[in-house]
Amino acid sequence: MHKEFNEWVLRNNIELIPEAHGFKVGEVVTVINGYGIPFHNMVIKGIEKEPRKYGGQFYVWNDAYWFPVEKESLIKQKGEIMKIENFIALIEKSSKESLADEFRCPRIKDEHRTIYGMHFRSSRYIIDEAEDFSKGWKQLDTWQDAPYFGVWYNDDLKMTLTYSEGDWSLVKCNTVESYKAEFEEAVEFYKMSKQNSGYY
């Protein structure tokens, strides 16, 4: 398939570069498609010098090798993005750098709870399949669970994490009491949202 891809590149005068945005040609990655489904062990076959109008720049597919995906669709299979610990640090960093965005900048819920937001189009599986998921993380089952939606909590870290269609929300609590309140609010919220939706 690499031969066919290379021939297609030559025929269409596609200008490729060896690396971009922290990814390199030949690197093995996980690709999240438009439905939020992860495809593991995909190899970056080529990187276009300039992204297409829709953002596509990375060639990873075997069948549709001519269709590049956006950098937001790629996840390193090994490294910081696949550890929840470091992903949380990324959310906090992104949130603090988004001071002009009232929905993603750090928000004080009360004196013991802070909310951090980040937009990163991916899927819930980067949490479910993270290397360190077993370190205290648990899923809060909701009627909305899907590749594009998920809620998790960690009693030891006193945190809750929510993913909804590209938006990540992290709530950090600094006391056991505030964490219990946050958790109970989440349980009640999803219970009520289910009743209001008509799903019983």
- Tell me, what CATH number does 43's domain have? 2.30.30
3-state secondary structure the chain: CHHHHHHHHHHCCCCEECEECCEECCCEEEEECCCCCEEEEEECCEEECCCCCCCCCEECCCCCCCCCECHHHEEECCCHHHCHHHHHHHHHHHHHCCCCCCCCCCEEEECCEEEEEEECCCCCHHHHCCCCCCCCEEECCCCCCECCEEEEEECCCCEEEEEECCEEEEEEECCHHHHHHHHHHHHHHHHHHHHHHCCC
User: What's the rounded Cα separation, in Å, for the pair 18 and 66?
Assistant: 17
Higher-confidence residue of 180 and 65: namely 180
Q: Are residues 71 and 105 in the same domain?
A: no
Domain membership of residue 102 (yes or no) is: yes
Q: Which of residues 80 and 59 earns the better pLDDT score? A: 59
Is 190 buried (19+), middle (13-18) or exposed (0-12) by CB count in 10 A? Answer: middle
pTM, to two decimals? 0.62
pLDDT tens digits for range 186-195: 999 988 765 5
Domain boundary among the residues 76, 105, 131 is at 76
Average pLDDT over residues 142-155: 92
> Which is more confident, 72 or 136?
136
- pLDDT category at 80 given cuts 50, 70, 90 is very low
d(CA 89, CA 198): 37
pLDDT tens profile 10-67: 999 999 999 999 999 988 888 877 766 778 778 899 999 999 988 899 999 878 889 9
Q: How far is CA 1 from CA 38, 45, 58, 60, 130, in A?
A: 21, 10, 16, 11, 30
- State the residue range of the domain holding 19: 7-76
The β-bridge partners of 108 are 114
Q: Is residue 132 located within the same domain as residue 68?
A: no
2 domain-assigned: no
pLDDT tier at 154 (50, 70, 90 boundaries)? very high
Residue 156 in domain: yes
Is residue 69 located within the same domain as residue 160? no
Q: Looking at the domain assignment, is residue 1 inside a domain?
A: no
